[in-house]
Amino acid sequence: MKRLFILSMAFVCSMGAVVSTAEAQGAAATPVQSTEARLATVLQTMVRNNSDDFYDAAALVYDASGNMLNFVSMMTAAAEQGNPAALLWQARYLRMTAATEPAGISRARTLLEQAAKKKYVPAMVEYAAMVYEQASSEQEARPGRQMLMEACRAGSAKARALYLMVSGRMQNSSLTAPEVASELRRKNFYLEELIAAAQQEPSSFVMWMERASEHGSPFAPYALCSYVAADKADACLKLAVDRHLPAALGHMGTGIVRTEAARMEQYDAQKAAEGLRMLHIAAMLCEPAAVSSLASFLAEGYGATMNKELVYGLFHLAHRCGDPNGTAGLGYCMVLGAGCSQDVPKGLEYLATARTKGSQWVNQALASIYYNGDGVPADLNKAINALTEDYANGSRHAYVVMAAITAMGNSSTAGDERRARLFLNMAISDGNLQAEPFYDFIVQRGKWRFLEELAE
């Protein structure tokens, strides 16, 4: 729901480049480099070091612009210029949207091959894995095997672990086999992750993931979060965040913003800004779940300003990733004409699709549309029906909103305080401790709209 009692929100974020000067020497100021130029330097360093950790690149663009979609355009431009790291990122971006755009898989393979031919080791390994994933015969797998062997010779621990798996050595021999034992002595956490995934017993899985975590794996501590006590889970999550795992960044960022949203009048805008930064970076690192969460939070007003074009773009991306909430957000934006040209029929079509796919809050969007008459004739009964379904799907505030809009009425139906009180009593008896202040707040304002900031 919206930030009900928040009076002001000021985010602290770093904008623009840091300019160094030589005033003490009387020298001219060092020219300010553009964000694109600094990003190119970061990407070149990644290629030189054979790194596929895009965290610094994403943080650079976010701190300079605060806009995830700027990173997409900059990385696309860098890929067009042939930078191998950018080619790898664009391939991951295309694979992220494969749920709705399967043709992108072929393009992703082409991009990986281009980067691999430039001897960029992370792309070589990822290309080999994709070839094996798609191969239906040994002949089709041969290019992957050749590329994998070349990556092994280049010293890639990930390539060596993958080779042991695809060659059958892990399946056909014990962990004491010479090749496997040799890699384990080298503390190859990629291999330890693969061994963990093959375990049937939870205790064995945990043991191998603990070893992988100890040896530097970003994924292993995140995987352990579901198997350890709550206090240890927090430490595991933080370790995964510190190692820049996209899923962990998205998970922690979402948790921080949700916690602050629930605090209402004690809301800490600076703390929420930290969570939003994590979500931005996770989305830049091709974590689909982060895209939809980020779009939703920004649409609810958790940001320095309401950038409708950014919200629309993020909802559109989340929809492309196959997220039902992204589809719902996209449809809602189109009905309102928020950040895009208004297209009510198409927007309602997207909302209907999101509803069938189980979007968590599509019914609130529909209730708002019918209550306020956004692009459709106002109809209080249709709004109540949508909120009734919202309650059935687990919304704790649905009855409160029903009560408030019934009390206020709309252009189609006069207010009915008696019926509104029935809905409010249902909310109270359902254990909603915030029911009455929430109801009073809406009625005193005299209006209710889902994601109100998008419509203003």
Give the chain's end-to-end CA distance (angstroms, integer).
17
Q: Is 103 helix (H, G, I), strand (E, B) or coil?
A: coil
Rounded to whole angstroms, the Cα distance separating 279 from 252 reads 8
Residue 72: CB atoms within 10 A of its CB come to 18
Q: Is 16 left (phi over 0), alpha (psi -120 to 50) or beta?
A: left
351 neighbors 365 (Cβ within 8 angstroms): yes
Chain segment 343-400, per-residue pLDDT in tens: 999 999 999 999 999 998 899 999 999 999 999 999 999 999 999 999 999 888 899 9
The reported pLDDT for the residue numbered 32 is 67
Tens digit of pLDDT per residue, the chain (456 long)? 333 322 222 222 322 333 333 333 444 445 568 999 999 999 999 999 999 999 999 999 999 998 889 999 999 999 999 999 999 999 999 999 998 999 999 999 999 999 999 999 999 999 999 999 999 998 999 999 999 999 999 999 999 999 998 887 776 557 778 889 999 999 999 999 999 998 989 999 999 999 999 999 999 999 999 999 988 999 999 999 999 999 999 999 999 999 988 776 677 888 989 999 999 999 999 999 999 899 999 998 887 778 999 999 999 999 999 999 999 999 999 999 999 999 999 999 999 999 999 998 899 999 999 999 999 999 999 999 999 999 999 888 899 999 999 999 999 999 999 999 999 999 999 999 889 999 999 999 999 999 888 887
Q: Express each pLDDT in 103-146 by its tens digit.
A: 999 999 999 999 999 999 999 999 999 999 999 998 999 999 99
3-state secondary structure of 374: coil
- DSSP conformation class of 264: G
- The whole model's pTM is what? 0.86
- For residue 39, the tally of other CB atoms under 10 A from its CB is 24
Instruction: Decide: helix, strand or coil at residue 268.
Output: coil
The CATH number of the domain covering residues in 34-167: 1.25.40.10
DSSP 15-82: -SPPPP--GGGTPPPPPPPPHHHHHHHHHHHHHHHT----HHHHHHHHHHHS-HHHHHHHHHHHHHTT
Residue 101 in tokens: 């755009």
Counting Cβ atoms within 10 Å, is residue 384 exposed (0-12), middle (13-18) or buried (19+)? buried
pLDDT at residue 175 in the model: 78
